[in-house]
Amino acid sequence: MLNSAPLNASPLNGVAGQAAEPEYIVRGQSFVWALRVTVGGVNQTAILTGTVTVDREEGAAGVAGFDLFVASGPVVPTDWTGKAVTIDYISTSQGATSEVRRFTGQLSQPVWNPITRILSCECSDQLQQRVEAMTVEAIDSLTGGYWSADVFDAVTGRSRWDYAVERMGSRPASLDCSPTGDMRVTSWYAMAPHFEFGPGTTVYGSVDVELAQLGDITNRIEIEISYRYPRLWQLIESFGWAHPNADGLSGIGGFCAWRTWSTELPDTDMIESAVTGAGLSLIGGVGGYQLPLSMANPCGDGVAWTNTFEGLWLSAGVNGGRRWTQTVTEYYTLTLTTAEGQIEGTQRIGRDSANFEIESNRSEDWSGSLETDPNAEPGDLSDEARRVSAITCLLRRGRTEIISAHRGTTVSWAVPTSMASTVDLAHTLSIDDQGARAIGKCRRIVDSFDLNSGEALTTLSIAVMRGGGVSDPLTVPAAPSTSLPPLSGGNNSLPTQLGGRLVDPETGFTIPPYDPDRLGFSGNYSVKDDLTAPDYPRRFDLEARDIPAEYRDERAVTAEATYLVGIPNDLLEL
């Protein structure tokens, strides 16, 4: 399962959707502000008390909190749970009034204090719960990214939020909600600044820099993958036998030559049993030339021939085959690294792995299928789409982990909310104040509206990427070669040994002793030349060729690849 959605910014080169001209925040202004808070569609602003807070962070559910003073009447706190909540910020400066939505969500946990008659409301934009209610297809469309069932557990019966997180793990981007409650995915990469906070625009003493810890900056990911699948083999062997007394002739000519010194002959059952006894499956039937049935004068010598037994062979050909399954395993060692991660001594390594196997009913039935499905073709039961999907997912996840580790530095500052009311998590911000110059993508926005003091402050935090270098394309490596030379059964000519005589009538030589290990046909002459001549057992034997171990044992091959990961160097001067 592979798909991806474009990011708002391309790493290192090329930026999409960036602001043509940043908004420069002007210092020295005065503002009059107010809030509008609705719960369940009812304006509750008049009974607000204390401090109202809104906290929105990339990749997490946005939360808000406020207190309502209910002066009289009964209160049923559970009736408030789940009600829709909106928080709007209204600001007036120099005669112009603007109204901006700061939060959209639901009241998730009301707490009632019967002494003070204050209903404390904790709210959430319900990001996780909303994703949990989505279909898999809708999550795919929303998150994009890369996912493989060979890397993660099957989706069925699992949390849809976990599934969305898995997909987002392959993208340098975050899934969160806008102030109006719309779910969206935003890139981690900084673009040209949407807002610039220059000298004198930030609250004095509010600038804070939290530097990434060295041990948290992973600069090298080593991935080990084993991909296993069955290889189906088939070997067909041909066996041929001809009676030596037929003088190499076929048909009636061979019969007449044999008839001069007739012998026992193998029958059909003997030949077929020899094939199956050798561990082979019989393919087709026995072919060749059978001893003819009774004939008046077959050889033209005036002598009649009498035979009432069918299935006796003067020459025979038969085919037997075997099918077996061999396991093939492809091992991959893939490394994603920054330039620093290539240097021993400065490496901070993370690891990942995946092991998956192609399972097939066809491979389970293959060994015994020669008779039931003789036309089935041997070959590899690999799945290239699954291989590519799994490796791509792991590569993308590894690259995202490295990029995430290199944006651990956070620069934060506070400003009057009226000066940042339109800033969103999707924006790139610039600061040049109080000894700090930095540019980064906004990672957190925290509003604090103190109704007692009249203070309305927003704390902005940006993530600053640092690393440098250029990126290699994350191309899936080609599968390593696993091929072997084809196996051939060949044509096997089977010998003959005949007993029942002391001297071979054809050659005049003494007949050698019976050899129990000799393949082919063993039988006796029809007429003895001496009563002491030993009889040989009547049998027909053949052997299948040995299969070399390299065709039976697991075949393992390896492949390695290294990919450079470049990290943008966002501005950071202190």
The DSSP secondary structure of 211-231, one letter per residue, reads PPPGGG---EEEEEEEEEEEE
Any bridge partners for residue 446, and if so which? 55, 459
Residue with tokens 């369940």: 40
**d(Cα 159, Cα 377) in Å, to the nearest integer?**
41
Mean pLDDT of 266-288: 95
Please state, in angstroms and rounded to a whole number, the distance separating the CA atoms of residues 225 and 354.
5
> What's the CA gap between 208 and 205, in Å, rounded?
8
Task: Calculate mean pLDDT across residues 165-184.
Answer: 97
> What are 116's strand-pairing partners?
none
If you ran DSSP here, which 8-state letter would residue 537 be given? P
Per-residue pLDDT reduced to its tens digit, 555-573: 999 999 999 999 999 999 9
| Per-residue model confidence as pLDDT tens digits over 499-514 | 999 999 988 999 999 9
Q: What whole-number distance in Å separates Cα of residue 154 and Cα of residue 77?
A: 40
Query: How do residues 435-448 score in pLDDT, each as one tens digit?
Result: 999 999 999 999 99
| pLDDT tens digit sequence for 125-142 | 999 999 999 999 999 999
What φ, ψ does residue 472 adopt, rounded to 5°?
-85, 150
Q: Which of 160, 240, 259, 149 is nearest to 492 (CA)?
A: 240
Over residues 79-103, mean pLDDT: 95
Strands (E), 138-280: 173-177, 183-187, 195-197, 208-210, 220-242
- C-beta separation of 331 from 556 below 8 A: yes
Give the percent of the chain with pLDDT over 90: 89
pLDDT, position 27: 77
Give the CA diameter of the chain: 137
Is the pLDDT at 12 greater than 60, yes or no?
A: no
CA–CA distance from 423 to each of 64, 375, 464 (Å)?
A: 17, 68, 17
Contact 149, 387 (CB under 8 A): no
Q: Which residues pair with 432 in a beta bridge?
A: 437
Using CA atoms of 465, 471, 475, 477 in order, give the dihedral in degrees to the nearest 10.
-110
Torsion of CA 212, 216, 217, 221, to 10 degrees: -160
Tokens of 347: 């490496």
146: nearest Cα among 402, 425, 474, 479: 474
Strand 428-433 vs strand 520-524: parallel, antiparallel, or unpaired?
unpaired
- Mean of the per-residue pLDDT values of the chain: 93
Summarize the confidence of residues 416-427 as an average pLDDT: 96
pLDDT tens for each residue of 341-391? 999 999 999 999 999 999 999 999 999 899 889 889 999 999 999 999 999
